[in-house]
Amino acid sequence: MSDQSYPLELTDSDIPMVRFANVTKNYGPLTVLDSLDLDIAPHEMVSIIGPSGSGKTTVLRMLMTLETINDGVIYVDGQPLTHMPRNGKLVPADESHMRKQRMNVGMVFQHFNLFPHMTALENCMEAPVQVLGLSKAEARERSVELLKMVGLEDKMGQHPARLSGGQQQRVAIARALAMRPKVMLLDEVTSALDPEVIGEVLNVIRYLNSEYQLTMLMVTHQMGFAKEISDRVCFFYAGKIAEQGSPEKLFGDPQNERTKQFLHAVLEAT
């Protein structure tokens, strides 16, 4: 950690739900994220776009504590996630601190990562029972409600192998929601799907965005969807935010040369 001192907790008048403060991530000699500063307000929907290898998925993986960081601090809901206070200073978080702070964050993966040996319902009930200590009846009630919300009440007893990709991803969204996170991370959630089922997953995300008090961070290649749903779009290039702004601004009037090139190439392809 550099000499720069980081606050033990955030006390701004309007605390961001997520703050990346000077966060750097290296894989050996390769710098994937370079001194990232990014605040995400409560209930904000932020899309992250950019070419592959630009570090956009790494942003989500660090926030889910699937990756460690090499410099800087990540705060969630005002509290440090990657670090913990000790003797008036921040030190790297231990497992129990991370477990506590991680409760605020949920994630949906590109490849669903459902538990194949459990039914859709069991997938959703597992963590509420095992982690939150809910009774089976409470967890079932919560899970059934969520599976209804994603339109899968008639598939609750099915194992993932019997479900289509779109259905599996909707189960994965319900599973993440069952933990009632404040921050929801969506990592290329439609990239592994057949084109005809992408719509059903996007509809669920639209519904989440309008009906749930969630802060969402979404890595996506669906430019049209990002434009429609986001409060803000960040364009990543070479481990940095090259440009960010409202979707109208970023898609309609990009300033950065890299953004223009990227959008041109992406729109060409579709």
Interface residues with other proteins (CB under 8 A)?
A: 64-66, 99, 102-103, 105-107, 109, 111, 113-119, 126-127, 130-131, 159-162, 175-176, 179
At closest approach, how far in Å is the CB of 262 from other proteins? Answer: 28
At closest approach, how far in Å is the CB of 263 from other proteins? Answer: 30
At closest approach, how far in Å is the CB of 77 from other proteins? Answer: 15
Which positions ≥6 away from 261 have C-beta within 8 Å? none
- Is 250 in contact with 267 (CB distance < 8 Å)? no
- Is 124 in contact with 143 (CB distance < 8 Å)? yes
Which positions ≥6 away from 47 have C-beta within 8 Å? 218, 219, 220, 226, 229, 230, 232, 233, 234, 247
Nearer residue to other proteins within complex by CB, 106 or 247: 106
| Cα–chain center distance at 43 | 13
Nearer residue to other proteins within complex by CB, 111 or 227: 111
Nearer residue to other proteins within complex by CB, 192 or 265: 192
Nearer residue to other proteins within complex by CB, 30 or 161: 161
At closest approach, how far in Å is the CB of 178 from other proteins? Answer: 9
Output the furthest CA–CA distance in the chain (Å, rounded).
56
- Is 76 in contact with 262 (CB distance < 8 Å)? no
At closest approach, how far in Å is the CB of 14 from other proteins? Answer: 28
> For residue 1, which of 32, 22, 19 has the smallest C-alpha distance?
22
